[in-house]
Chains A and B, each alone.
Chain A
Amino acid sequence: MLPGFGLTLGYTVLYLSLIVLLPLAALLARSAAIGWSEFWAAATSPRVLASYRLTFGASLAAAAVNSVFGFITAWVLVRYQFPGKRAVDALVDLPFALPTAVSGIALTTVYSQSGWIGRWLEPLGVKAAFSPLGVTLALTFIGLPFVVRTLQPALADLDAELEEAAASLGASRWKTFTRVLLPPLWPPLLTGFSLAFARAIGEYGSVVFISGNLPMRTEITSLLIISKLEQYDYAGAAAIAVVMLVVSFLLLLLINLTQWWSIRRCQGGFAG
């Protein structure tokens, strides 16, 4: 047996408790202390409900857009050769690496009325920045890598023989795609979608600049927590935070379950 188990495990648990668990416990204790009715009132006031609607709606829309374009991007990067492919592949991680404040101001500039893209949308009657659409755009940006990066390895793992087998049995390209290639890709696609969605509902930096922050209209939940804090309404902030936290944990659970499910389905695939 290797040495150092007690020391490293002890350190891991201690550090985890100090940095993560204890502060999270403080949040839960804080919201528990305010009493159920007050908690409910703080977590479900009309302004808060409007922020949930915007946050969850825009996050869902962004994750959906990312699922479609993320799938295309992963497919293209794994299967085709074209000039600039390596640069595209590297750029996919930009939303991970770019500080959110920078992406926020950059997207706002590009999608505002006079921006490089916004000025083309304006005559079409589409107001991108300072609207729910702008929030969706920022959340799409922030979730872009998740679908691509979870699908890429799954796509690369697809055995070319499967497609050849389908073709040799007379399946058209489209039928091969829908019946042979797509089914094993559903679990990673769902995982990527959930990861992008989970990231989007907690996002703050890239959204606050482009959203315009109008209460009831373009105010996301993260921003609302900060406004509550600035008004020294700690209990209200804690109540909303607990709601968001519970949703995040449920999502995390869902993601782990889908991963477990996809592993189960493929278990024994190489045995015997």
Chain B
Amino acid sequence: MSIQVTHVSKSFGGFQALRDVSLEVGEGELLALLGPSGSGKTTLLRIIAGLEQPDPAPDVDVRFNGQSVAHRAVGGRNVGFVFQHYALFRHMTVFENVAFGLRVRRRRERPSRQEIADRVRRLLALVQLEAFERRYPSQLSGGQRQRVALARALATEPRILLLDEPFGALDAKVRQELRRWLRRLHDELHVTSLFVTHDQEEALEVADRIIVMNAGRIEQDGAPEDLFNNPRTEFVMRFLGAINLFHGRVENGGVRVGPMLLPQVDCALPEGQAARAFVRPYDLAVDRRKNGAAAMPAKVTRVQVTGPVVRVELEAAAGDVIWADLPHAQYRDLRLNVGEQVYVSPRNARVFAGDYRP
């Protein structure tokens, strides 16, 4: 089932959570809504579910498969919703939790007891919790509870699955496992799914497509690699991964940062305009000699060799702290010492100008 959201705004008192947001989700897609807290991503998810109503406006609408569901309350939309803190019913066993959505149906729509039991057991098998059906939520671990919540949401065979920070309350290791598991589950079921997260790694790893949100607006919408390699705004650049920031001015079609001139600016900016150049740490080369104009001197202040790459902290002439990630082999060849003078040169920089509001 596809989803179309058009011109949705929402304010809570004086706080504008969403500003004229429109988006489309294709049938069977797994989409991540990514953004910092307060960016409006959860509000958008809740509006799609029918848990919140958008502010009235002439052309505001939420449609499933082209059909408006704006006048339907949450129960009539047939969506599965998974809450950040699971929202399991504490006084019900795992089995009863999963069966809840079927048991509360009106008599003529309700499956027979046997059918309910069969379906619940199938779902518990799917989330690998067959052995736990008689337990109460308080007797489960966080990861198990989240899986029960997911099975419960799937029991009513929803056409759309919405997940609000589904792994937010779990520790790092369980998160890793559940991410991969969610991806596999989606490949198996092909239910159109949206999940909200503030963790860029999670979004990049799991989703087919990512929508980055900031201050109630959509910043960028695209495939993970597209977003990562071609951030369209400074916000997306900063949000997806680590960065080094250089302040400079436009000069001869490039950007001058102190003694360094960065060539080939990818956007047309007037001469003399203040600009900010962003360089990912792995795009920063470190060398003993100066290689052309796109390099600046810096002093090595700290080296951290534990981890997948060697992290070199440097202090530029102006006092800015920058850092470069080097492969271990290259670091061994260079034999850097703390306190040593070196040159850094960006292999790839993205330049943005104008005001920046996070």
A interface residues, Cβ below 8 angstroms from B: 159, 161-162, 164-172, 175, 179-180, 183-184, 265-269, 271-272
Give the Cβ gap from A200 to chain B, nearest Cβ, in Å. 29
Are A171 and B75 in contact, with the CB atoms below 8 A?
yes
Give the Cβ gap from A2 to chain B, nearest Cβ, in Å. 33
State in angstroms the CA–CA spacing of A68 and B115 once bound together.
Answer: 38
17 A-B pairs with CB atoms under 8 Å apart are A159-B87, A162-B87, A162-B89, A164-B51, A165-B83, A167-B75, A168-B51, A168-B80, A169-B101, A169-B155, A171-B100, A175-B104, A184-B90, A266-B90, A266-B138, A269-B138, A272-B140
Residue of A161, A169, A171 with highest tally of chain B CB at under 10 A = A169
Are B74 and A179 in contact, with the CB atoms below 8 A?
no
Knowing A169-B152, A272-B140, the reply to whether A164 touches B104 (Cβ < 8 A) is: no
A175 partner residues in chain B, CB cutoff 8 A: 104
Residue of A159, A161, A168, A171 with highest tally of chain B CB at under 10 A = A168
B78 partner residues in chain A, CB cutoff 8 A: 170
Give the Cβ gap from B301 to chain A, nearest Cβ, in Å. 41
A179 partner residues in chain B, CB cutoff 8 A: 89, 100, 104
Are B104 and A161 in contact, with the CB atoms below 8 A?
no
B168 within 8 A of A: no
Closest 6 CB pairs of A and B: A169-B101, A161-B87, A268-B138, A171-B104, A165-B87, A168-B81
Are B75 and A170 in contact, with the CB atoms below 8 A?
yes
Instruction: Select which of A164, A170, A265, A269 is within 8 A of B105 by beta carbon.
Output: A170
Give the Cβ gap from B166 to chain A, nearest Cβ, in Å. 13
A183 partner residues in chain B, CB cutoff 8 A: 89, 91
Are B89 and A170 in contact, with the CB atoms below 8 A?
no
State in angstroms the CA–CA spacing of A170 and B152 once bound together.
Answer: 12
In the complex, the chain A residue whose C-beta lies closest to that of B77 is A168
B139 within 8 A of A: yes
- Extra inter-chain contacts (6) besides given A161-B83, A169-B153, A169-B156, CB under 8 Å: A169-B75, A169-B152, A171-B75, A266-B138, A268-B138, A272-B142
State in angstroms the CA–CA spacing of A269 and B137 once bound together.
Answer: 7
Are A159 and B89 in contact, with the CB atoms below 8 A?
no
B298 partner residues in chain A, CB cutoff 8 A: none
Give the Cβ gap from B252 to chain A, nearest Cβ, in Å. 57
B153 partner residues in chain A, CB cutoff 8 A: 168-169
Are B137 and A164 in contact, with the CB atoms below 8 A?
no
Give the Cβ gap from A159 to chain B, nearest Cβ, in Å. 6
Are A169 and B104 in contact, with the CB atoms below 8 A?
yes
A166 partner residues in chain B, CB cutoff 8 A: 89, 100, 104
Which residues 68-118 of B have a CB within 8 angstroms of A?
Answer: 73-75, 78-81, 83, 85, 87, 89-91, 100-101, 104-105
State in angstroms the CA–CA spacing of A183 and B85 once bound together.
Answer: 20
B89 partner residues in chain A, CB cutoff 8 A: 162, 165-166, 179-180, 183
Knowing A170-B105, A271-B138, the reply to whether A164 touches B91 (Cβ < 8 A) is: no
In the complex, the chain A residue whose C-beta lies closest to that of B164 is A161
Give the Cβ gap from B211 to chain A, nearest Cβ, in Å. 22
Contact with A along B287-326 (1 / 0, CB 8 A): 0000000000000000000000000000000000000000
Knowing A269-B137, A272-B141, the reply to whether A172 touches B87 (Cβ < 8 A) is: no
B34 partner residues in chain A, CB cutoff 8 A: none
Which residues 119-150 of B have a CB within 8 angstroms of A?
Answer: 137-142, 145
Instruction: Select which of A161, A167, A267, A272 is within 8 A of B85 by beta carbon.
Output: A161
